[in-house]
Amino acid sequence: MMASFGDGDRNSTRSIKAQARSQMATQEKSTEIPALSGLRFCAALYVFFFHYGAGYSARHHFPVAFSTFLENGFTGVTFFFVLSGFILTYTYRDFLDGRIALKRYFVARFARMYPVYLLALLIAAPFWYKAVRPMDVVRMLSLTQSWGASSSPLGYVGILQAWTLSVEMFFYLVFPWLLRGAQRLRNHQIVFGIGVMYCTIGLLEAPVLHVGMSSVISAPLFLPVTLLRLPEFALGVLIGQYVLNRGREGRPIPQRRWPHVLFLAACCVVLFATNRHGWVSFAAAGVGSLIYCAAGQAYIPRLALGNRCMVVLGGASYAMYLLQEPVRIYTANLVARRYPSADPFIALLALLCLSVLIFYFYEQPARSWLRKTIR
């Protein structure tokens, strides 16, 4: 009798856990917004052309405005950070209450980040293994390169872009608490918070800050770059919570988006017209308006960013972002040396093909296997 009763309790517990897993998986799948995947690809492409297109355009005497736009491509990182805050808030909603939900959240984040990152480290190993120290390896594997003082050069060990993953890892850790705080706010408070985050990003010139810089403002700041970039992530969290609140109140995102369109047009003009850090920082934070319009399923973002091709490229954008440096080196040594004028285009084509293959045949299977294995 007692054994039977105990078995029943265990079966009931397993059933509850299975229902929780199924509910969260269904929630994550049902809250996908295709246009945001396309936006993720555009951000990765912008960063690629910043690294390998700005100098090319200057050498070949492209129009000054076009070269300036490419020189501002580092703001693609701001796109990633704001978008990450929005997607996490929109996806998890109220599903981070309880130990099981938190455990599944952290497992999902681990499975999302590590497989492709470890693969990128292996692909790039011939270029960095001789230069690292044991502590550098520890920081790379634990993704804490950017957790020290912002003047630390350790963020550039291994994979150049991995310092942003280190910042993102910090965001993942603090997100459950940011979400709980945002859920307590009313809409007018969220709007005020969005304004504060936007001004903070612009005044701190946060999009310019990266590992290796002490500060770009007059007063020296002895703060890790993770804290200085946090307003960008918090901006995405607040926009996501605002969209969710309107949905719960039965008030969809307004269809009149002309103020957002005009604002985004002004941001684009700034990115083409100047590379002054202050102006560029305010313009980069304007991606929040684009995310807001895409979340409302506006026709133009849905058509341009939410089609099947852009969704696939958006899925592959993570591998594309991490592998751009090693792929560029390999293509330069193997192919592009014979056609130097076509170097960036050969590298981009190889990067796109490789990233899509990795997404379908490595990233997705590895992520699924990790989430099922680590429970």
- Pull the structure tokens for residue 218: 């007059």
Neighbouring CB atoms inside 10 A of 21's CB total 16
Report the pLDDT value the prediction gives residue 229, as an integer from 0 to 100. 94
- Mean residue pLDDT of the chain comes to 84
Return the residue matching tokens 């341009």: 304
Taking a C-beta distance cutoff of 8 angstroms, is the pair 281, 202 a contact? yes
For residue 319, give both structure tokens: 């591998």
- 55-89 b/e (C-beta count within 10 Å ≥ 16 → b): ebbeeeebeeeebbbbbbbbbbbbbbbbbbbbbbb
Q: In the prediction, which pLDDT does 13 show?
A: 47
Burial 331-357 (b: 16+ CB within 10 A, else e): beeeebeeeeeebbebbbebbbebbbe
With a cut of 50, which residues of the chain have pLDDT below it? Answer: 1-10, 12-13, 16, 20, 24-30, 218-220
| pLDDT number for residue 217 | 54
96/290 Cα distance (integer angstroms): 27
pLDDT of residue 336: 60
